[in-house]
Structure 1
Amino acid sequence: MNDWLLAPTLQGRTLRLESLSEVHAARLLRHLDEETTRYLSRGAPADLSVESVAGYLRALNAVPNRVNWAVVTNDGDVAGRISYSEVRPADRWVEIGTMLTTPFRGTTVNPEAKLLLLERAFEVLGANRVHFKVDSRNERSLRAMAKLGAVREGTLRRYQVRPDGFARDSVMFSILAEEWPAVREGLRERVDAALR
């Protein structure tokens, strides 16, 4: 069960996922903006400084039952972070949360990062389910979930109070183990198409 809370380096074709730490703050800050952090459930760094971003990353790593990776492109850019934002080994599920900076949207980064974490969840850890919660106001992420092939389960109304006091509605999506092969194929096709 402890394997569920480890963050091994996961190598893809265009990027790798490596354990998130303060050393990623300066490279993450290069592309970080308000658009990237607007809908994050745990809020954003206090300001766009290396110290503030490092503090934000420390706070994420201190959250219990959470495993965080930096999304590092093959040329060394930090495109964002991706997490098992909640891990429940006894129930055999994880939740995935993603924050990608603006320049990397619409590239291979999102499908490949998701592919790596979903492969780990279903094929290494033996998860029955992976789910995602999206702020109901975040149209871009809602479209991304549909493109991923995740099933929309419903809306958790006023589910979480953000640090700014706003009680957000979260739209729940999931992928079950038996749905994973089709989702995996779709993600692989998206990465392949982008690399042609």
Structure 2
Amino acid sequence: MPPAPSADWLLAPTLTGRFVELEALSLDHAPGLAQHATAETVGYLSRGGPAANTPPEWAAYIERLNALPNRVNFAVLLSDQVAGRISYSEVRPADLWLEIGTMLTPPFQGTAANPEAKLLLLERAFTVLGANRVHFKVDERNTRSLRAVEKLGAVREGTLRQFQVRPDGYARDSVMFSILGREWPEVRARLTQRLDALTAQPLS
């Protein structure tokens, strides 16, 4: 299948799965993010997070993310609540690749939110946009995210040492993983099996 036009790569259509809905990240999602976020939520983000865990600061953070070039941001909605955000954090249509970055708040970690949000964005990347490659960069200290990406079946390519300097001055080592188009059917099957075994977990 030929790749979609470059402009399509920067669109944020609503994507609906069995448990999760993704919609374009907007200021309306700031209160929901503030409701469930903790210091851990933003502790490993390469660009840092909001200055404080308040709706106005989350709104300012969302504005900063949405202003970045070559980036498409989605809110992750589960059980009518804002579970976090997932992004095409770099979009390179000329080279037929995308990067995906995910941030989920603690109550939604370990639920269907992560595998299905990734399934929806990977499906769009490979079958709609015609990407050859999707990759993920994970802070080497973030063991939870490392396990999650490994569980996808993504290939670990190596570590980019002191690759990104966070706003607090820490130069983080970023572990690179990737999925190629020819690997997508196997990864899709793995994600689908995980979702088949899951039920949405109600919040207390």
Q: How far is 1:88 from its partner?
A: 0.1
CA–CA distance in structure 2, aligned partners of residues 179 and 189 of structure 1? 16
TM-score by length of 1: 0.98
Specify the alignment match of 2:145 in structure 1.
Answer: 141
Letter aligned with residue 92 of structure 1: L
Specify the alignment match of 1:105 in structure 2.
Answer: 109
Write out per-residue CA displacement over residues 119-158 of structure 1, whole angstroms, 9 at most, x where no aligned residue. Answer: 0000000000000000001011111111010000000001
Q: How far is 1:86 from its partner?
A: 0.2
Specify the alignment match of 1:119 in structure 2.
Answer: 123
Mind listing any 5+ residue stretches in structure 1 that lack a counterpart?
none
Q: Secondary structure at the match of 2:197?
A: helix
Letter aligned with residue 82 of structure 2: V
Q: 1:5 aligned to 2:10?
A: yes
Alignment match of 1:40 (pick from 41, 45, 49): 45
Percent of pairs identical after alignment?
Answer: 68
Letter aligned with residue 57 of structure 1: I
Letter aligned with residue 116 of structure 1: L
Specify the alignment match of 1:151 in structure 2.
Answer: 155
Letter aligned with residue 33 of structure 1: T
What pairs with 1:62-73 in structure 2 (closer than 5 Å)?
62-73=67-78
CA–CA distance in structure 2, aligned partners of residues 110 and 125 of structure 1? 21
Alignment match of 2:22 (pick from 6, 14, 17): 17
Mind listing any 5+ residue stretches in structure 2 that lack a counterpart?
1-5
Letter aligned with residue 62 of structure 1: A
CA–CA distance in structure 1, aligned partners of residues 48 and 39 of structure 2? 11
CA–CA distance in structure 2, aligned partners of residues 46 and 182 of structure 1? 40
Letter aligned with residue 171 of structure 2: A
Q: How far is 1:62 from its partner?
A: 0.6
What pairs with 1:80-95 in structure 2 (closer than 5 Å)?
80-95=84-99
Q: How far is 1:195 from its partner?
A: 2.8
TM-score by length of 2: 0.94
CA–CA distance in structure 2, aligned partners of residues 87 and 44 of structure 1? 21
Runs of 4+ in 1 over 2 A off after TM superposition: none
Q: 1:164 aligned to 2:168?
A: yes
Write out per-residue CA displacement over residues 68-113 of structure 1, whole angstroms, 9 at most, x where no aligned residue. Answer: 000011x310000000000000000000000001011111110000
RMSD, matched Cα:
0.9
Alignment match of 2:183 (pick from 176, 179, 183): 179
**Number of equivalenced pairs:** 195
CA–CA distance in structure 2, aligned partners of residues 134 and 32 of structure 1? 19
Q: How far is 1:35 from its partner?
A: 1.1
